[in-house]
A and B are shown apart, each in its own frame.
Chain A
Amino acid sequence: MRSITILVCMLAAAFSCSAQTAETPSPGSTALVEDAKDWDGRTVSFTGEAIGEAMRRGNMAWIHLNDDAYGLAQGAEAGLFGFNSGIGVWVDARLASRIALFGDYTRHGDVVEVTGIFHAACPLHGGDMDIHADSLRIMRGGYEVAWPIDRSRLIAAGVMVALTAFLFLVRAILRRRGKKDP
């Protein structure tokens, strides 16, 4: 009986998720920018890596979510996939504070899903293109990015330092000789 209840609950949860997905479209940032007029004023769901920081303004905050390959693919820091792309999100500061890690050089930020109204030219924010989100969900936690030291580069740096020091020495000797023999 217990297992049936759990199964029913899981099915109900799955249905509610799929219903939400069916109701709320999830356009990418490229679609939002390219077809801003079509999406203007519509409720959208947007998923991306939180980057930079949450900039708190009173009870609200600005966050930026990148839905590019770097933001969404795990371990993507190993490759190059073109420019970053994403969008600014205006959200309740308490919701924004759920984000533990923001992406930068040493961190891959939390992957966050927000749902809210997309503005092609926001009347509240001087015409900025943004999403005013009323819900925020952490989809995947961020992580620290390890940058191991490249041994071959370290050796190359050592060789270059030695070469430069040698050239400084040669120049100093030549200058001294030049002064002696006018």
Chain B
Amino acid sequence: MLLRPRAGDLKVIGLYTGRIILGVGLLMAVPLATALVAAEWGPAIDFVIGMCACLAFGLLAEIGCRTSREPTWTHGLVVAGFSWLAATAIGAIPHWLSGHYGSYLDAMFDLMSGYTTTGLILIQDLDHVSHALNMWRHLLTYAGGQGIIVIALTFLVGGASGAYPLYVGEGKDERLLPNVIRTARAIWLVSLVYLAVGTPILWLIAVANGQSAARGFLHALWIFMAAWSTGGFAPQSYNTYYYHSLPFELATVIIFVAGSLNFALHWAVWTGRRGEIRRNIETLSFTVTIAIAMLVTTAGLMKLGVYPDFLASLRKMFYQVASGHTTTGFATIYSRSFVRQWGPLAMLGITLAMAVGGSACSTAGGFKGIRMGLVFKGLVLGVRRALSPERAHVVVKWHHLRTRVLDESTVFSAMLVVICYVAIYALGTLVGVLCGYPLTEALFDAVSAGSNSGLSCGVTSPAMPALLKAVYLLSMWAGRLEFMSVFALGGYLISIVRGR
């Protein structure tokens, strides 16, 4: 029997959702300051409106939903699911007011793409966008990489007891430290330290590449934010092809690969356990799957003889595959070049890489390395049991921070999430084909949206049907939250209507 939620439950959800939107509003102070410094008065007004809308929503929620109750697991999951949608709807105001979007849905699409670190875009005339809007686009992808709930936990949510369900609801379940609020702060510490180191390195390369100091700094900061968060946004429509620079490509690869690793792995290495990199199931899984994706893509490129020499082929293949596998979405080729130059086999290699994705509890999307590792080890367990005598006790171990014995329930949980990802990839592909796109292209962009990758072969554009935009938007949301919060929100809505 479904139980209808009581007013007290809705108050808890409203209160915490309000606090998260309040956090989004406070973040808008950064692009607002950018607009003021750059004397971009129009965008400054847009950000005042957007910021006040978020703050007003958050304050109204706090006033209307005053309660001293701590969120339960269900509340946490529902808040996570709902707050990402609300933050997208309200946070899109400055995007929409910028005049660079064909509809409010397009503005919301880009906002969801930013929060979820996807990187697919519908923004038009990106090459004439204000510094303030570019700052907001990249900041929201940087913040989204850590998680908008992590932001709220860091600054706004007092008391640790109710915080853990919110944290888990956002698709993270690693505790770096015993206290979840200290864990959220540790995640920010890791990200900010890398920002402080990575931005000057990119800045030096940008200046050496011929950019002015001021533009070079802004590009370095934005590209760092997009790389670390595996977001894939860039300040120019050419994406990272704009820089025509091997050192810049290498630096971004290092940053986005680091961003795609589990925060717990970063923490383990920071705290002196360097051997963890070699033993961790996710790094092992990442190494194997990226090697397979590279082989398939190289075979496709060599078959068609796309590049004049092996080194050029290797450079292009490596960048695109690494970008796809870490679900970053940076590209040094044109979107349509995937279709017109690379061909179906190389596209399949990239699609596979995007589908698998990076590590759990990182800024990356996709199935995640840990699940691929667990499913593979589950397969090994099954085969070994089948080949062993009936009374033999077969043990398979796996290592993630500590060594554990593999059991069926762990494999089952991993498999369930992988199936959910396959389902959203299939749904996006189906709707793409129904909208008239060829299967390979529909599959490529659908996997990109569902795995929060951001590479596109040209399907994603302002001209694509609104239905497909909506499906991709929901795929990005469900994929980023790893489904549980989405199911919980769906169940909650049903129980409001049909519960007793």
List chain A positions with a Cβ less than 8 A from chain B: 33-37, 51-57, 61-62, 64, 66, 68, 70, 77, 80-86, 88, 103-105, 108, 120-123, 125-130, 145, 147, 149-150, 153-154, 156-157, 160-161, 163-164, 167-168, 170-171, 174, 178
Interface residues of B in 37-89 (CB under 8 A from A): 40-42, 45-46, 48-49, 52-53, 55-56, 59-60, 62-63, 66
CA distance A120 to B336 in the complex (A): 13
Q: Which residues of B contact A105 (CB under 8 A)?
A: 40, 128-131
Q: Which of B310-318, B372-380, B385-393 contacts A (4 or more CB under 8 A)?
A: B310-318
Q: Taking CB as reference atom, which chain B residue is nearest A77?
A: B128
Q: Which of A33, A54, A163 has the most CB of B within 10 A?
A: A33
Contact with A along B438-479 (1 / 0, CB 8 A): 000000000000000000000001110000000000000000
Distance in angstroms between the alpha carbons of A84 and B241 in the assembled complex: 14
Q: How many A-B residue pairs have CB under 8 A?
A: 164
Q: Which of B287-326 contact A (CB under 8 A)?
A: 306-309, 311-313, 315-316
Among A57, A122, A160, A178, which residue has its beta carbon within 8 angstroms of that of B49? A160
Q: A84-B237, A123-B309, A157-B45 are in contact. Are A163 and B246 (CB under 8 A)?
A: no
Nearest CB of chain B from residue A160's CB, rounded to whole Å? 4
Residues of B within 8 A of A (CB): 40-42, 45-46, 48-49, 52-53, 55-56, 59-60, 62-63, 66, 97, 99-102, 124-131, 209-212, 215, 236-238, 241-244, 246, 306-309, 311-313, 315-316, 332-334, 336-337, 340-341, 461-463
Q: Which of B128, B209, B244 contacts A125, CB < 8 Å?
A: B244
Q: Which residues of B contact A51 (CB under 8 A)?
A: 127-128, 236
- CB contact under 8 A between A103 and B127, given known A57-B210, A126-B246: yes
Known: A36-B340, A88-B238, A147-B42. A153 touches B49 (CB 8 A): yes
Determine if A168 and B59 form an interchain contact, defined as CB atoms under 8 angstroms apart.
yes
Provide the residues of chain A in CB contact with B241, threshold 8 Å: 88, 128
| Smallest beta-carbon distance A85→chain B, Å | 8
Question: Nearest 7 A-B pairs (CB), nearest first?
Answer: A55-B210, A160-B52, A127-B312, A84-B237, A167-B59, A56-B210, A123-B308
B60-A167 in contact (CB<8A)? yes
CB atoms of A160 and B309 under 8 A apart: no
What separation, in Å, do the CA atoms of A34 and B97 have in the docked complex? 33
Chain B residue numbers with a CB within 8 Å of A56 are 210
Q: Are B127 and A53 in contact (CB under 8 A)?
A: no
